Structure 1
Amino acid sequence: MKFFRYLLFSAVLVTGMNSCKKDSENLWKVEVKSPVEKVQLIDISKELYDPNVSLESFTQKYPFFQGTVPNEDFAERRKDPEEIKVYKEAISKIDVTKLNKELADLFSHIKNYFPDFKEPQVFLYSSALQGIMEPIFYESQKDMLFIDITAFMGENNPNYKGLEQYFQKSMNPKNIIPKVSEIFAEHFVERNFEHQKFIDQIVYYGKLMTLQDAFLPNEPDALKMNYTPEQYEWAKANEANIWNYFVENNLVFSDDQRLAERFINPAPFSKFYTEIDNESSPQIGIFSGWQICRKFYQEKPETKLTDFLKMNAQEIFNQSNYKPKN
């Protein structure tokens, strides 16, 4: 499509012009009344690989960590030099003190909108690269959050050899907090994609991104989307043309479930089936849903977050008056 191709050359100009404009007031920059001062953060693997900690005392302290692995195998794993090497490299990449402060700030903002939320005990651990595709796990019933530090060793780390590059872009230490926030956002938004239209799906993700805005008001937008700065700028520069494409091709209210594969699921780029595809930002449907929800809050800034999350996609879309222009 020619309109996409044109904006590839004009994106720098558009971005430069926009950067000169004064940022509008951030609705989500609020004073937190009862901030969380400090998070209980424990590095399980530090004790796992410590030869001075007996297997018996370790398993008694963390009975959930061994799983179904027999004692003999578990004891051998604790001495595995390769596993120990990966753990030491992974933990060296993380500023634990900084992470504690960032988690405390995140939990404070969540509690500000959901007073019943109880900040979890946080466990850092090494999966020895086995769990890097889903590195964050939240056990809501037990108020426990697990972070696999081997998933945040940095893009192009030799340990990630063979892993698709588009996954690696969000495998840096700075991506930990946005990914943790995303896990909590999913906890507060009901999901049901059965027999749903494209608009229902993208607004669902738009709600998640709105919670990212509320939970992380000071975090760069690109990180919230797991984008690079360049991917975010491309999405912003092409926002109107992306939406025009959806409208002109009758995708907005389509119930074609293949659209998720093209515009929502993780991928190196979005699939417009044009010459622009390889240059496009991935998961662009999520970005569009986010902008719809942002426009809704421009129109209805007084709406309580909990009420907004209960609204259906059609209501949000209609009341947003979303019609982006070039």
Structure 2
Amino acid sequence: MRLTSTRTIYFPLLLILAFACGKKEEGCELSSEIINQDLTVKITRLEQDFFTAKTVTEFKYLFEAHPEFTKEYLQMDLYPSPDSLAAELLAIHQDSSMKVLYDSVEVAFRDFSDVEKDLENAFKAIKYYFPQFQVPKVYTFTSGFNSDLIVTDDLIVIGLDYFLAPTHTFQPELPRYMAERYDRPFIVPMIVMAISARFNETNPQDNRLLAEMIYYGKTYHFTKAILPCTSDQYIIGYTPEAISESFDNEELIWSHFVENELLYETNPFEIRKYIGEAPFTDAISTKAPGRLGRWLGWNIVDDYQFNQDVALDVLMAEPDAEKIFRKSGYRPRKVNE
């Protein structure tokens, strides 16, 4: 757990013909049936408790008070004893750079009520569509860029230092095109995307590019359905300009996939060109954003849901990528359509 650590857990989200440059989109409110559910989220700011602890005994008390956090996030099982983990944390928190980082986090996230409220509404929406969903405990922490986000069935831990503004002096050791997606407005969409995985049924035998495209398309569609007021840029991680230009060139992009018979490609190296993290999709153009296969998958899934009028839970439970594609009726939008 050092300031220079690069261990990262990235989670690497309705029709999307409008491109909002701000965070919120108009006419997008959740229904009163969703909002009025009896569900409350309280985010526990553990970075404050841990940074005010001054002795090994105080740290051990915190370990006992928050066992899930200690096991999953601090990875207690990797240490010979609670005393050794407490001693390491004590040394880290006395480091001058770590103190400056912690102070920066406290200033930037002193008021976290907006994220707390957005997360509460997101959980209400998930609970509405998926009644089996159990609300996890939510914590924040400052780890020295050791871990950005952990999402399990039982808990969520947000590494706030990762989500300082991209212009901040302290930055995680990530490529710039990825680091720009670590900002406050991305926190809740990233959590919702991670949660979507537990509902996103797939066919493990289908190793085609199409299956990857549909998987991510369902992920983004789920996130947009749960967070209808969140701009697309905070879901897929493209700038508004990149979203607009992608739609302007959708026919060209789709032609590239069709002419090169990419939908049924099974070579992992080729699939990674269109699905994996990259600053651009150079197989198409160095000006095209990366992950265009995911973006196309989102369009296909949106069309499938719209044309087949399937409920969100039914959509997420459909493992057949070929069926979703065939019944989507997908075709590229023309620029002025």
In the superposition, the TM-score normalised over structure 2's length comes to: 0.80
Equivalent of residue 180 in structure 1, options 187, 191, 198:
191
C-alpha distance in 2, partners of 1:216/1:91?
27
Q: 1:283 aligns with which of 287, 291, 295?
A: 291
Structure 2 Cα separation of the partners of residues 231 and 254 of structure 1: 26
Residue from 135, 140, 158 that aligns with 2:169: 158
Contact 1:128-1:150 within 8 A present in 2 as well: yes
The alignment partner of 1:188 has SS state of: coil
1:163: Cα distance to partner? 3.2
User: What SS does the aligned partner of 1:123 have?
Assistant: strand
Any residues of structure 2 matched to 1:123-272 within 5 Å, and which?
A: 123-131=139-147, 135-140=148-153, 143-160=154-171, 163-191=174-202, 195-272=206-283
**How much is the aligned-residue C-alpha RMSD, in angstroms?**
2.4
Query: How far apart in 1 are the matches of 2:44 and 2:129?
Result: 26
Using the alignment, how far apart are the partners of 1:214 and 1:223 within structure 2? Answer: 14
Q: What SS does structure 2 have at the residue aligned with 1:278?
A: coil
State the secondary structure of the residue aligned to 2:151.
Answer: strand
Higher relative contact order (CA 8 A, sep 6+): 2
**Which string of whole-angstrom CA distances, capped at 9 and with x for unpartnered residues, describes residues 203-235 of structure 1?**
111111111121111110111101222222222
Give per-residue Cα distances to partners, 1:143-178, cap 9 Å, x unaligned: 211111111011132212753111111011111011
Unmatched segments (≥5 aa) in structure 1? 1-16, 20-24
* Alignment CA distance shift 1:286-1:31 (3 Å): farther
Is 1:92 aligned with 2:87?
Answer: no
* Residue 87 of structure 2, aligned match among 51, 57, 72: 72
Unaligned ranges ≥5, structure 2:
1-16, 20-25
Runs of 4+ in 1 over 6 A off after TM superposition: 25-28
1:102 equivalent in alignment to 2:118: yes
Partners of 2:97 and 2:64 in 1: how far apart?
A: 25
User: What fraction of aligned residue pairs are identical, expressed as a percent?
Assistant: 22
**Structure 2: which amino acid aligns with 1:90?**
V
Distance of 2:235 and 2:45 partners within structure 1: 25
Give secondary structure in 1 for the equivalent of 2:198.
helix
Classify 1:238/1:30 alpha carbon distance in 2 versus 1 (closer, same or farther; 3 Å): farther
In 1, Cα distance between the equivalents of 2:275 and 2:150?
Answer: 21
Q: By how many angstroms is 1:107 displaced?
A: 0.4
Superposed displacement of residue 91, structure 1: 3.4
8 A Cα contact 2:164 2:184, kept in partner: yes
Shift of 1:57: 2.4
- Kept in 1, the 8 Å contact 2:44–2:140? The answer is yes
